[in-house]
Amino acid sequence: MSTDRMHWPQLLSTRRFKVAGDDIRETRTPATLEGAAGLRSDFHIDHDRVVFSSAFRRLGRKTQVHPLAPNDHTHNRLTHSVEVASVGRSLGNRVGAMMQAQGLLPDGYTPFDIGGAVQVACLAHDIGNPPFGHTGEDALREWFRDPRHAALLAGLSDAERHDIQTYEGNAHGLRMVASLEMYQGEGGMRLTSAALGALIKYPWTSDAPRAQARGKFNIYRTELPYFERVAAELGLLRKGEREWCRHPLSYLMEAADDICYAILDLEDAVEIGILDVREFEMLFSHFGETERVWQTQDISQKCAMLRGIAVGRCVAEVAEKFMLHQDTLLAGTFPGKDLIDVCAPDIKQTLQDAKALASQKVYRHRTKLVTELASYPCIATVLDVLVPAVHARISGGEAALSPRQALALGLLPRPLHDDQTLYQAYMGVLDYIGAMTDNYAANLAREISGVGIL
């Protein structure tokens, strides 16, 4: 096979890997060997492992757009992920059918396998997000980049410092599925290589040139050896020492996410009274037959009907453009920013207009701003207590701990060990805070500040 492009038989690999010390080897579990044809495919097994994880369940109390929203109908990260997975499955199934019609689908695979792999990636795409959404990421980064805390990072390598100072939900998502959930430290959920490839939007480390340019990355140093093995299995083209081309299916996962948040964030805004329904109608009414929409008086039903029309149109367009650009996707030379970027002008413009409207009227609404501002001192309160205690324990042992610091370490779900490095211990702190729900983080900050003592 040509080495200057990726190939579907490798890209759809269902091999799973486990970690045994310094060795990363293939693993086959009883679930993988269920025997009866059609009982559960490898991607169904992946799906179930994500859905039954505690990390996925916690998304139900994490911010999508509106932190601690009082309205039960607004999306949280869990409902968002389920809906993205539904759109992603439709995209994958559609692409898979077109691949099959063109003789591009490898032997042994069905169109539903493409849909299944994308669906798994979509389910897990937000699994590493911290409390308070992107504001939570910013709060974690700001604390570790504060010059007042520089002494606490002394002794870390440049690469380790990049990781600690740049909490990245995408990288923590890979960490969650490859290290923290199920087989902890031994390969995590041990998902198929194809599903992992489809999950990774930014296949490079925090100190790679593209991370510096874009501020996004998917691979912490802790997961680099594991991803190296997965990337080799998939035949991902290497672009640098710690950088690879994206798996083509990751573009479908990304498009499903873009479609959902561009449309559904506005639907939420109508639901809670931030946006007038007429603005929602103006954006999406041109996407298809809307006679029934105009006859509908119920605002929620009207939004739902327009949303369904818009999503269906976007799915058809994105799948078509994926097939049109398949050669460049496989060669790692895709010219667009993403698949939406190469869609028909009306699709692209409408989604851009939707995001612009959300930015103007939803993301900057006072109720959202106030809660987001409060998330900074909330997360800082927890870090102020935990990080100095961890630093004292790793650098000086238990004897170096003050009574307050010894109490603080009791908050961590896993005790620190003498053989841990400072980097590993700080990653444990990020794991703990990143896994918190909005409610848990807010309550913990109030309690340890003394405000909630009575």
Residue 428 has pLDDT above 70, yes or no: yes
- What is the average per-residue pLDDT within 10-31? 90
- What is the average per-residue pLDDT within 31-49? 77
Please write the tens of the pLDDT for every residue from 235-257. Answer: 999 998 999 999 999 999 999 99
Write down the pLDDT at residue 68: 45
CA 433 remoteness from chain centre: 16
Domains, the chain, with CATH or none? 10-27+41-248 (1.10.3210.10), 258-361 (1.10.3410.10), 366-449 (no CATH)
Which range has the worst mean pLDDT, 84-93, 149-158, 296-305, 404-413?
296-305
Q: Where are the beta strands (DSSP E) in 86-207?
A: none
Q: Can you tell me the distance from the alpha carbon of 78 to that of 75, in angstroms, rounded to the nearest whole number?
A: 8
Instruction: Specify whether the CB–CB gap between 83 and 315 falls below 8 A.
Output: no
Q: Can you tell me the distance from the alpha carbon of 431 to that of 130, in angstroms, rounded to the nearest whole number?
A: 9
Instruction: Specify whether the CB–CB gap between 53 and 188 falls below 8 A.
Output: no
Residue 351 has pLDDT above 90, yes or no: yes
Average pLDDT score over the chain: 91
Write down the pLDDT at residue 291: 61
79 closest CA partner among 122, 137, 136? 122
How many Cβ atoms sit within 10 Å of the Cβ of residue 337? 9
Q: Can you tell me the distance from the alpha carbon of 12 to that of 416, in angstroms, rounded to the nearest whole number?
A: 39
Widest distance between CA atoms in the chain: 74
249, two tokens: 């299916």
DSSP letter (8 states) at residue 26: E
pLDDT band of 189, cuts 50, 70, 90: very high
298, two tokens: 């119920």
Residue 281 has pLDDT above 90, yes or no: no
318 closest CA partner among 247, 236, 253, 264? 253
Write down the pLDDT at residue 122: 98
Handedness of CA 55, 60, 65, 66 (dihedral sign): negative
Residue 430 has pLDDT above 60, yes or no: yes
What is the share, in percent, of the chain residues with pLDDT greater than 70?
A: 92
pLDDT band of 305, cuts 50, 70, 90: confident
Beta-bridge partner residues of 20: 23
